[in-house]
Amino acid sequence: MGFVGKHFEANGAGMRRQTLNVIENLVFGFGHGKFSVVSQLSFAQLAYWEGSAMAMQHTPLLMSNILDRGAKVAPREEVVTATDNGVRRQTLEETRARAHQLAHALAEAGIGLGDRVATFMWNGSRHLEVYHACAGMGAVLHTLNIRLSDKDLEYIIDHAQDRIIIADADTLPLLEKLNGRMPSVERIVVATEEGFEGWETDLPEPVDYEAFIADRPTLCEWPQIDENSALGLCYTSGTTGNPKGVEYEHRSQYLHTLTQMMTDSMGLSAADTMLGIVPMFHAMGWGLPWSALALGCKQVMPHRFMDPQRLLDLIVSEKVTVSAGVPTIWQGVKAIYEADPGAYDLSNLSRLTCGGSAPPPSLIRWYWDTLGVEMIQGWGMTETSPLATLSRRVMKRSQLSLSEDEQFENVAKAGQLMPGLELDIFDEDFNRLPHDGETVGEILVRGPWICSEYYNNPQPDKFHDGWLITGDVGKIDAEEYLIISDRSKDLVKSGGEWISSVDLENHIVALGGIGQACVVAHPHPKWDERPVALVVLDPGAQVSAETIIEHCGTAFAKWQLPDDVLFVDSIPLTSTGKMDKKIVRADLEAQGYQLPDLRESTG
């Protein structure tokens, strides 16, 4: 039989085929005159290639392989959930046991591999248990956004074909608007918190969460499934048409989780106390529940108590070290702290992650200068799981010698790419553009945790040659920092030139007395569009429109300045906490708003 033949026999058919493929490619695949390549290789070398090709174990990258870890290594660590009159606590060991009980209960209710289990819940320990149970048993977790309209919820539930919905009792009135309009839903499981023990509902087959899992075994043998099996389902809050579903896989989220925990990423640690403010129905809570379960860190969950005062109290009382939320959250916390700085001991807090929209550089600097807290800016979206880039004060060794001001110039950028991903900027013909910090292009990204198509709704115009077309426009500088210019739909096009609404907003907010700023495009018959700034003042502040325009004039050309400044009490937000510029533009149109120069011409 010879050496190679014996080696093939010993190592099995799969390895034999692999090595034979190598030989066939070398001998036959490259045309006449290439046989000498093989003649220079010994059969022993080919056999070595074959054996080494399977030297590592090919363990499937399943979330179930890491989610139980935290409870094993730190069983007494806590999961803390805010309640009406304080908090309730349970250990990671208890959380794991209850998640396994839930998996048994779901299986007894007929939920199998790939079945959709929806949640309509705030951040809390029971929501965490659903995350854990669904991932372990191979069901698909579909996190429903509590803040969506009943029309969007009806579409999403039907499109996903959810079979069971697990809901917090206080959300039942919202869900009941859909009664009779959810044909796929067989049962509602109701999680009860303090003050809602007497819930009643006409929704299908309701059962209390505690009764549902009671007396079930506290250990479930997780199935070994394909690592590319669906893990979760999140829908984007689409600006046009119906929301689009993004299906996450075990493999993609396993890799995303490991990346998120890296030192040069969010730097999460088992020694942290993490306050997850970003809702667990937004892009899987930015992946933080997975990371926390794997690490075994203490978790603090605000449930429905999302006001800045309660969040600040939780940070202090639970000695939170790291937290994550959108800029409006951190602006609210800042305002409360500034009103009475001596009332809050934030000495344990070391870093905040901010995403959803770009935080103003002045906000990033305030947290560092006032509290010594690093604000880590992240860029991503539902389609990117969501972590794509992060910006920290020091991203590489060469920056250690920079002055603090120079370091903060980088923090204001969207950051550098996470390992494992590719990102670039392109022109309208998909030609790559230079990384000179000046050239603006469409941002495209690809990689193992990037969406390749929408769930049961491919939308090929959102993808190109394996790349996700993000809808953001920006530039990349010589240090490979991504700088977001705007959402493509939010840029202001004036006289054939583009004006960044984000740049104007950040500059306006840097002026003292300004709480929020929102810049939108308004139609103009000559210039196509002109920028209009809506401004929310800090309590008691007095800042004139003229002062704001003059302030913008210190950094922007005259043609880039807002044509008008409108003072408002609040700016509408999307379901994900971003400024809803679509609503702002529609409101201005409905009010018959006219730009100042047009008022003069028609007056």
Which of 227, 250, 273 represents a domain boundary (last residue)? 250
Is there a domain that residue 447 lies in? Answer: no
Instruction: Give the model's pLDDT for residue 602.
Output: 59
Instruction: Give the model's pLDDT for residue 187.
Output: 98
From the list 498, 527, 547, 582, the catalytic residue is 498
CB 543 within 8 A of CB 514: yes
Residues 22 and 150 in one domain: no
Residues 116 and 45 in one domain: no
Structure tokens at 15: 């390895």
Residues 100 and 244 in one domain: yes
Query: Cis (ω within 30 of 0) for the bond into 386?
Result: yes
Is there a domain that residue 326 lies in? Answer: no
Residues 37 and 109 in one domain: no
Is there a domain that residue 265 lies in? Answer: no
Which of 202, 234, 250 represents a domain boundary (last residue)? 250
Instruction: Give the model's pLDDT for residue 53.
Output: 59
Burial degree of 432 (CB within 10 A; 0-12, 13-18, 19+): exposed
Residues 100 and 48 in one domain: no
Instruction: Give the model's pLDDT for residue 42.
Output: 52
Instruction: Give the model's pLDDT for residue 242.
Output: 85
Is there a domain that residue 407 lies in? Answer: no
Q: Could you report the per-residue pLDDT of 169-213, keeping only the tens digit for each?
A: 999 999 999 999 999 999 999 999 999 999 999 999 999 999 999
How many domains would you assign to the chain? Answer: 3
Residues 117 and 180 in one domain: yes
Residues comprising the chain, all counted: 603
Q: Is 236 part of the annotated catalytic residue set? A: yes
Q: Is 383 part of the annotated catalytic residue set? A: yes
Q: Cα separation of 536 and 509, whole Å? A: 9
Is there a domain that residue 133 lies in? Answer: yes
From the list 493, 497, 550, 559, the catalytic residue is 493
Instruction: Give the model's pLDDT for residue 12.
Output: 44
Domain limits for position 106:
60-80+89-250
CB 118 within 8 A of CB 166: yes
Is there a domain that residue 556 lies in? Answer: yes
Residues 167 and 206 in one domain: yes
Taking Cα atoms as reference points, which of 501, 463, 521 lies closest to residue 578? 501
Q: Is 273 part of the annotated catalytic residue set? A: no
Q: Is 505 part of the annotated catalytic residue set? A: no
Taking Cα atoms as reference points, which of 243, 298, 232 lies closest to residue 270? 298
Low-confidence ranges of the chain (pLDDT < 70): 1-54, 237-240, 496, 600-603
- Percent helix, strand and coil across the chain, each to the nearest 5: 35, 25, 40
Is there a domain that residue 433 lies in? Answer: no
Residues 43 and 165 in one domain: no
Residues 221 and 148 in one domain: yes
Instruction: Give the model's pLDDT for residue 505.
Output: 92
Residues 8 and 121 in one domain: no
Q: What are phi and psi of 405, to 5 degrees?
A: -65, -40
Q: Cα separation of 183 and 175, whole Å? A: 14
Residues 119 and 210 in one domain: yes
From the list 50, 193, 247, 383, the catalytic residue is 383
Q: Cα separation of 533 and 149, whole Å? A: 28
From the list 19, 236, 259, 389, the catalytic residue is 236
Burial degree of 306 (CB within 10 A; 0-12, 13-18, 19+): middle
The CATH number linked to 547 is: 3.30.300.30
